[in-house]
Structures are given as C-alpha cells and as structure tokens.
Amino acid sequence: MSDIAPKSEHWLPEEEWRKVQRCLPIVCVDVLPIRRQATEIQEIGLILRETPHQGRRWCLIGGRLQYNELLTEGVARELREALGDGFSYSLVGGDEPLTIAQYLPTLGKGELYDPRQHALGMTYAVEMSGSFDPRGEALDFAWFPVADLADMEGIGFGQKPMLIECLRRLGAL
C-alpha cells in the first residue's frame, strides 16, 4: 500500500492505480465542445495538454469516470476541472455518447494510442458558450474551424480520425 493519499475518496493511491491500469480497461468520458453559427457547426474546442508520450498536444477534454458517477456527471465534472465555471453547455444528442473510442497501450494496434492504459472513451459532444479558464491538465483552450481539421497537426493520442468521424456523425462534414 502506498503512503500517498488518494486524490479523493474516489481515487486509489498511485501505486494501486498503476496496477489497475496494467490489468483492466478504464472507462473514461471524452468531451468534444462545439460552436454553431446559425445551425451549422463551425468550430470545435480542444485543450492543450501534456500527453504521456507526445509532449504538448491539442486533445479532447476528458478523463476517467469515478465510481458511482453517471456518464453525464463525468462530462460535467471533466468540463469544470478543465475549464472552470464561467460557461454553460448542453449535451448534443441527449444522454447517449456520440461514439465510443478505444485507446490501446500497444502502438499500432489501433488508431487511438495511450501508453498508460487500455481505455474506453465515451465521447460526448457539447454545445458551449461563455468564458473558459483552462486549469488542471488543460494548459490552454482554443476553438478550431471545422474546415481546418483535416490539415491540422498536433492532435494528441491519435484523435484526429475520431474527431473527423464525430463531426461526420453530427452532420458537420
């Protein structure tokens, strides 16, 4: 047992957490912020964060689901932890995830790669407005034109194809 106290009652001490990461798939929520002009999705929001293997990259907002937490509660918590409290949002498509993404710890086994763990990301789209105060793992937050996504570099964890697929499902591409 580690001497380091868990982050909250919902987190394991670091040593135990690393063991779980090596043994079990981890359930996560990923959040794709969108902004519309009239009815068309014009921009997506991404956070700049340190990745465990690529350095600083633009990524979806997200993280692991806590014990006894509804997926939609996880979405709200991850948004607050990354962007503060100065915004409002609404889920696009209701309480169901837009897509389910699988991140694997073996490079080349799938498009999405996370060297720390095998994770299942329940990806939600949210329409957002207000002010954003990047914090926690979010070093910055920015909006990117949907039209520029295909040529965009610096997207982490191999998320670009998944972002493009999400936008197709939303009718933006």
Secondary structure E strands in the chain: 26-37, 40-51, 55-59, 61-64, 87-92, 99-103, 119-130, 140-145
Beta-carbon contacts of 170 under 8 Å, excluding residues fewer than 6 positions away, are 34, 41, 92, 98, 125
> pTM of whole model > 0.75?
yes
What is the C-alpha to C-alpha distance for residues 63 and 83, in angstroms, rounded to an integer?
Answer: 13
* pLDDT tens digits, one per residue of 45-103: 999 999 999 999 999 999 999 989 999 999 999 999 999 999 999 999 889 999 999 99
Bridge partners for 45 per DSSP = 143
Tell me which of 3.40.630.40, 3.90.79.10, 3.40.50.300, 2.40.30.260 is the CATH number of domain 14-169: 3.90.79.10
* pLDDT tens digits, one per residue of 107-166: 888 889 999 999 999 999 999 999 999 999 999 999 999 999 999 999 999 999 999 999
Q: Give the distance, in angstroms, between the CA of residue 153 and the centroid of all CA atoms in the same chain.
A: 18
